[in-house]
Structure 1
Amino acid sequence: MGNYAAIDLGTNSCRLLVASRKKTVLARDLQTTRLGEGLTETGLLSEKSIRKTLQCLKQFKETMAHCGVKDYRIVATSAVRESANQEDFVRQVTKETGLKLDVITPEEEAYLSYRGVTEALELAAPPLVVDLGGGSTEFMHYEGEDRYWISLPVGAVRATEANMTADELLRRLEPVIKLKDRFQNSPLVFVGGTATTAVAMKLGLREYRPELVHGQVLAKSELADLYHMVKKMSLDLLRRLPGLQPERADIIGQGLLIVYLIVDSLGKSETVVSESDLLQGIIGDLSDAG
């Protein structure tokens, strides 16, 4: 029958998930490729980041072959969506790797993340899911016919490169903040590398363990403590901090600030963090298609 694979080409990292027909995880991998590095300034995916991404995809293709993958889907999000050389990049991926790449809309990205979360967490009410990436942040809340989603140009890499202040971040988040009463009774759930890294830092994980991260709660006060801690540390010290990937050291400060501002401005005291996200949403769709 063969197994399933999902790959997410994000602004900061390239991620792989391989699962069986019963959705048992067979392999996972993450490489920091910084595909969106410099995009805000140039409007283009750089040759350096494209090369790193292509090399990553070739390695992932080998893993997929080793795991007996039959059906797969590779999606690209914010960085590729916004780049002026999007079409050239998609063609290059196919030419050099033989793999098909889908550049998905913010709406589909939101749906896939929401599916990944709600199939993996038992929550008291339909959640407000926040997918904080490197270049954008998606918010989604589905309750029967009442469906809300929005994608905002706020991300850990983008905010770091532009050196955005808290006031600037709040201005960009205003479309969601003004609706906070609507989400008063909705559990807040974060997905994405900043949130999972925050949990790993809180737990002091020297080796990342998704089963320990999934479902953890981060209190607003813990987020504030983590933010103030990393802002006082040099990059060299941050790169040696348990729970923090060295490649994420330069963007974790702004990432944590974004998480804190969202939690605080929505009037929440805490957020749940989900390890299950867009990748699991893709696996679910592949499974449904048989």
Structure 2
Amino acid sequence: MVDETQMWAGERVTDTSARDERPPARARHRQGGGPAQGGAPAGATGRDPRSHARPRNNDPCYAALDLGTNNCRLLVARPTGSGFRVVDAFSRIVRLGEGLIGSGRLGEAAMDRAVEALKVCAAKIEARHIVDRRLIATEACRTAVNGEAFIDRVTRETGLELEIVDRETEARLAASGCTPLVDPTSDGAVLFDIGGGSTEVVWLDRLETRDGGPPAAVIRAWVSVPLGVVTVAERHGGVKVTRDDFEAMVNEFTPHLAGFVSAVGPHNCGRLHLLGTSGTVTTIAGVHLDLPRYDRSQVDGTWLGAEQVRVVVDRLLAMPFAERAANPCIGVERADLVLAGCAILESVRRAFPCDRLRVADRGLREGILVELMRADGVWRQRAGAPT
């Protein structure tokens, strides 16, 4: 396997690029994601001519779609005085990257599943008054030899124009979406986003903004590792996972973090905390809380201690596959992936043995919404308005 790990270190404030810097909509997925602000397929204005067809209401909304290696997710939201309120959402496991590591191609069945999910997303977008949107595809479409052809198929069959974003863009969007959960009394956070085909780890600070909106992300270093829950589970197995299998997963991921740890340099883990955004960490939180069914309101923002995380991971390792599948916070669609995610998490925890982990049920889509709304100046316009 070629090591395609990518890393950057320095200091960069996100959410600062201007709308007129972004490339034309049709070119964005050809250019690796472009600058910070994405947009709609209607051209430079970012307006979607179809968004006015049969709207359920006239509230101006923004749409964010993330087509990953495992999931297809959509958020539609409207701005509020200090953030945004979700008015529609969609999530479906499509496993677009199924078999990709062996063939190098997106499979026909996987593409069919993704297109069907995207048709649902297209209908939801069309039913709203969308003033701007950004629709992204990540690792599976980045690496597949037929990724661009699939994007063209999506446009033909759904009317949606997706852009294939590069890894730096993916890391930045995750940071923008999760920054509100960074403890402002800490020295920052080590954010990790465990995806289906890649994992982004970001050394993150927050910067309070003057526009009344969410804090902006300050990225001091980031690394993108071409390993995620789908790729690791396919390489090592996910149904029956022994302790040795688990350690093999951890050991495969760990070397990819070496350069990032060096870039962070001397640090006090007691003054940092981990911040996790992915199905892995939300699952761990749900299992820890013994939720009878998954509840985002109880999971998003939850703090877990290092020992609490260890106990849950040990519990999951001891569970037979059928018990994992029956757990209401895991389910049959994730049962063969959750331990691969736990192994990636364990690698991050060993590299950064922080005492606290904050769980984020938010990420790329929220980051897209923040960037689009900030580019439109919605919070400056709404300063002082009720939420």
Q: TM-score, normalised by structure 1?
A: 0.92
From 194, 204, 219, the equivalent of 2:280 is 194
In structure 2, relative to structure 1, the CA distance for the partners of 1:97 and 1:182 (3 Å cut) is farther
CA separation of 1:207 and 1:65: change in aligned 2, threshold 3 A? farther
Aligned to 1:114: 175
Alignment coverage as a number of residue pairs: 290
TM-superposition CA deviations, 1:196-215 (whole Å, max 9, x none): 11111212223322221111
* Structure 1 match to 2:311: 225
Give the 3-state SS of the residue equivalent to 2:333 in structure 1: helix
Q: Deviations over 1:52-81 (max 9, x none)?
A: 111001111222233433322111111111
Partner amino acid for 2:222?
W
Contact 1:180–1:266 (Cα < 8 Å) also in 2: no
Give the letter aligned to residue 68 of structure 2.
Answer: G
Cross-structure match for 2:292: 206
The answer on whether the counterparts of 1:220 and 1:264 sit within 8 Å (CA) in structure 2 is: no
| Pair 1:86-2:147 in alignment | yes
SS at match of 2:329: coil
Q: Does 1:262 align with 2:348?
A: yes
Q: 1:147 to 1:121 in 2, by over 3 A?
A: closer
Secondary structure (helix, strand or coil) at the match of 1:239 reads helix
Could you tell me which amino acid in structure 2 is paired with residue 158 of structure 1?
T
Q: Which residue does the alignment assign to 2:250? A: 166
Q: Deviations over 1:214-266 (max 9, x none)?
A: 11122222222222222222222211113113211001011112112211221
Shift, 1:85, TM fit: 0.6
Q: Encode CA deviations 1:143-163: one digit per residue, 9 max, x unaligned.
A: 588731110122111111111
Deviation at 1:175, TM superposition (A): 2.5
For the Cα contact (< 8 Å) 1:78–1:136, is it kept in 2?
Answer: yes
Query: For each residue in 1:21-56, what CA deviation from the matched residue of structure 2 results, as whole angstroms up to 9, or x when unmatched?
Result: 321111222111011111111111111111111100
Q: Relative to 1, partners in 2 of residues 1:224 and 1:258: Cα closer, same or farther, differing over 3 Å?
A: same
Equivalent position of 1:278 in the other structure? 364
Q: Which residue in the other structure is 1:156 paired with?
A: 229
* Residue 96 (str. 1) matches residue 175 (str. 2): no
Decide whether the 8 Å contact of 2:181 with 2:358 is kept in 1. Answer: no
Counterpart contact for 1:214–1:273, Cα < 8 Å: yes
After alignment, is 15-24 or 143-152 more displaced? 143-152
For residues 147 and 28 of structure 1, do their structure 2 counterparts lie closer, same or farther at Cα, with a shift above 3 Å needed? same
Q: State the Cα distance separating 1:170 from its structure 2 match.
A: 1.7
Matched residue, 1:126: 188
Q: What is the CA deviation profile of residues 89-112 of structure 1, one whole-angstrom value per residue up to 9, with x for unaligned ones?
A: 110111110011011111111111
TM-aligned CA distance change 1:158 to 1:183, over 3 Å: farther
Contact 1:26 1:67 in 2 (8 A): no
- 1:18 alignment partner, one of 52, 76, 79: 76
Q: Which whole-Å CA distance do the structure 1 matches of 2:258 and 2:331 have between them? A: 30
C-alpha separation in 2, matches of 1:183 and 1:73: 36
Identify the match of residue 93 of structure 2 among 14, 32, 39.
32
In structure 2, the gaps of 5 or more residues are 1-58, 208-217, 237-247, 377-387
Indicate the percent of aligned positions where both proteins have the same amino acid: 31
Compare CA radii of gyration and give the structure with the larger one.
2
2:52 equivalent to 1:52 = no
Please give the alpha-carbon distance, in whole angstroms, between the structure 2 residues aligned to 1:41 and 1:20.
42
Deviation for aligned residue 1:142? 4.4
SS of the residue aligned with 1:165?
Answer: helix
Per-residue CA deviation, residues 161-194 of structure 1 (Å, 9 max, x unaligned), is 1115332222233233445644433322111111
Contact 2:294 2:328 in 1 (8 A): no
Measure the CA separation in 2 of the matches of 1:146 and 1:94: 33
Give the counterpart letter for 1:96 in structure 2. Answer: E
Amino acid at match of 2:71: S
Most deviating of 237-246 and 31-40? 237-246
- Root mean square deviation, CA, Å: 2.0
